[in-house]
Amino acid sequence: MDPKGPFRGNPGLSIRTQVEGQPSGQEAQRVDLKNLSPSELNQFLQSFGKERYRTIQILRWLYQKGAQSFDEMTNLSKKFRRELSEVSFISTLHPLRVEQAKDGTKKFLFQLEDGNRIESVLIPDKTRLTLCLSTQVGCAFRCRFCLTGTLGWKRDLTVSEILNQILAARKMLPDRTSLTNIVLMGMGEPLANYENTLKAIALMVCPDAFKFSSRRVTLSTVGLLPELERLSKEKISFRLAISLNASEEETRTFLMPINRRYPLKKVLDLCKTFPLRPRTRITFEYVMIEGINDSSQDAKKLLRIVKGIPSKINLIPLNEIPGIPLKKPSEEKVKRFQEILMEGGLTAIVRTSKGSEISAACGQLLAKETPQ
């Protein structure tokens, strides 16, 4: 079989990868199946004469059964499996290190094929088991309270690198334990990796792939206006969270330099017209920092600026980080801030940080080789 046959007329489906067993430097065109959407996978299979139902079979093997080789796909003929192995492959991720905090939070360090590293965090709660995913290596936006931003941006993750974080974490769960929620709040800005992130989410909620409820997948963004505008024209299948972290422009610019390009007012104006599904709200994330954005006046301003937007507020007391000269407010200040918002009619939830002792809490991901 000509290994290039399936790619004729479909050049966008191919990527370069090292073929196992060949000397270094010899490359062949093989497709990472986990980089393909369901429609792309169907197109790929039809290009060498396979039936549509094969797409569903392979999706279920990849994402529901977690197959790591074609040999595991026992309802496919040996001939078909051999053909697939000649033109495609199944990528995987295995953690270099797993750290566990006393509260049960686990942090996974993954090394990618090019040597770059990312982290994911598994967060247990009473009724939920949430996996926090990364979408980029590093981050370009350098929010003042976030350690990941000190790395700068290195590259986007592929669709498969995003999805393989789920499969790797799921493989380590005890029997009869399931992930309930996915949050794209790890390393990187999801909307800066727009195409790959949305393709990955589509597979997360696909009934033949991961089967997550769209209400159980949340994408968090610093508020990239062009991408949010683009998103507003699509039928989104996830929940949207936007990092505000301030109630006025100057403070937000201090905390989040991206505010110079995409000011708070413009972000909120877009939110007022953003199409939401019934019974769905935008989540505004608000990292509380002592002496900067934690006053009663800040809370009252926040009430005013989000008026008219179906929303809830997640209050996140700062996770203090060595080398970053910002402090967490007192519990009394956090409680009073929350009370003002709730008295004004907003749903305001104080998020308890988990995993701080292993640098796994919000803003602490760095993907270092040795524990911090």
- Report how far residue 308's alpha carbon sits from residue 279's, in angstroms, rounded to the nearest whole number: 15
Cα–Cα distance for residue pair 83/13, rounded to 1 Å:
16
230's enclosing H/E stretch is helix 225-232
Burial of 235 (0-12, 13-18, 19+ CB in 10 A): exposed
Q: Which two tokens stand for residue 267?
A: 């972000």
Q: Are 366 and 359 in contact (CB under 8 A)?
A: yes
250 is catalytic: no
Q: What is the CA radius of gyration of the chain?
A: 22
Mode of pairing for the β-strands spanning 106-111 and 311-317: unpaired
| Lookup: tokens for 6 | 């399936």
Catalytic-role residue among 99, 119, 161, 227? 119
Class of residue 2 by CB neighbours under 10 A (exposed 0-12, middle 13-18, buried 19+): exposed
Q: Which of 97, 70, 174 is nearest to 367 (CA)?
A: 97
Q: What share of the chain is helix, strand, coil (3-state, %, to 5)?
A: 35, 20, 45
The active-site residue out of 139, 143, 146, 362 is 362
Six-digit token string for 219: 């994408």
How far, in Å, are 192, 266, 331 from residue 226 at the CA level? Answer: 10, 11, 37
Active site residue 132: no
Read off the DSSP letter of residue 69: S
Amino acid at residue number 371: P
The residues annotated as belonging to the active site are 119, 362
